Amino acid sequence: SMASRLSPIKTDGVPIGNTMGTPAPLESLLDYASLVLREADLNKKAASTREAYTRWKRGELPTRTGQRKDYKAPDYPGRPKSVEVVAPGRTARRGKGGSLEKRVAMIHSFAHIESMAIDLSWDIILRFHGEEHLTDEFFGDWLKVAWDEARHYEMWASRLEELGSGYGALAVHNGLWESAMESKGSLLDRLCIIHMVHEARGLDVTPKSIQRLKSAGDKKSAALLQEIYEDEITHVEAGVKWFKLLCKARNLDTINTFHDTVRTKFNGPLKPPFNTVARDKAGFTEEWYLPLVRKKDRGGAGQTKNQAQIKTVVSDKKVCQREAKEKIRAAGAEPHQEKHAS
């Protein structure tokens, strides 16, 4: 029966592999989270993530089992030993992705980010599973994100092979994980910094990367990145959704809490230009992030020069109303300097 096939034999709570050498199935989502985060082989990490998602969708996987287990997230996930890790800023220059070498460097960095994102999606599940106000919907949403990241990693890893390279051929940095560990004490901080600020920044820069791949004649990589970009919009949406729900449950003012968190926990102001179209799709509208931009950067915070002229981006309403009229008049003429943007 299905039940007997899904119940692993355990000794001291550790699943025993069967004689075929494959480990016995796991019993809960938190079992998978614990396994995936400690797994060093990225292909196995991705495959276990896909398996967990399939079982969850079929209703075969509870979040946790009745047995009390001490689930603890590791401070550093399992990663392949063969991959060289260097300080941020010391990785291969990607340039504009024009030459094959530069394109491989660009795609290698994408594969690395996606592999880290698998771990980060499972980390939010495992590290914060004991928090109040988290329903199965929370775990399902972040498992869906982990499933996307696993597929994205596999897409880039196989694309690298097609281009005569492979993941691990170049050095990588762990800046994203280090940034996430700064928020390991607070779920709101984690949602804010990793799943809203960092992920939304990805939405801002991805269209340019798609364009670079097209310009280099790499239609296949451009199409992969386009598909991934659509998924990433839903990841920012998950961050916004759970940030709002948790603020509401804790009687906190959502936007003010977001602003306070970014100001105290993020290194520096948010920098335009922003991909307002993708951010809007994710429910991450301008009132969230424009007040966090330095005044001198506010002139062109929208995505294009023309948008920036027409669309006013200053949080001061009176200035906005006066400038908006001037901007619409000036939009047909030539760009003018923002008087207030000093």
pTM value is: 0.80
Residue carrying the six token digits 């795609």: 107
The DSSP element (H or E) to which 10 belongs, if any, is strand 10-11
Cβ partners under 8 Å of residue 265, min gap 6: 182, 183, 189, 192, 193
Please tell me the chain's helix, strand, coil percentages from 3-state DSSP, rounded to the nearest 5: 60, 0, 40
pLDDT in tens, the chain (342 residues): 333 333 333 333 334 333 345 654 699 999 999 999 999 999 999 999 999 999 999 999 999 987 767 789 999 999 999 999 998 877 776 666 568 999 999 999 999 999 999 999 999 999 999 999 999 999 999 999 999 999 999 999 999 999 999 999 999 998 899 999 999 999 999 999 999 999 999 999 999 999 999 999 999 999 999 999 999 999 999 999 999 999 999 999 999 999 999 999 998 899 999 999 999 999 999 999 999 999 888 875 655 433 433 333 333 444 444 455 555 445 554 433 333 433
**Nearest in space to 94 (alpha carbons), one of 68, 77, 113:** 113
Question: How far is Cα 207 from Cα 175, in angstroms, rounded to an integer?
Answer: 22
- DSSP-derived 3-state class of residue 74: coil
Contacts of range 215-220, beta carbons closer than 8 Å, 24 or more positions apart: 215/96, 215/97, 215/98, 216/97, 216/98, 216/103, 218/97, 218/103, 220/159, 220/162
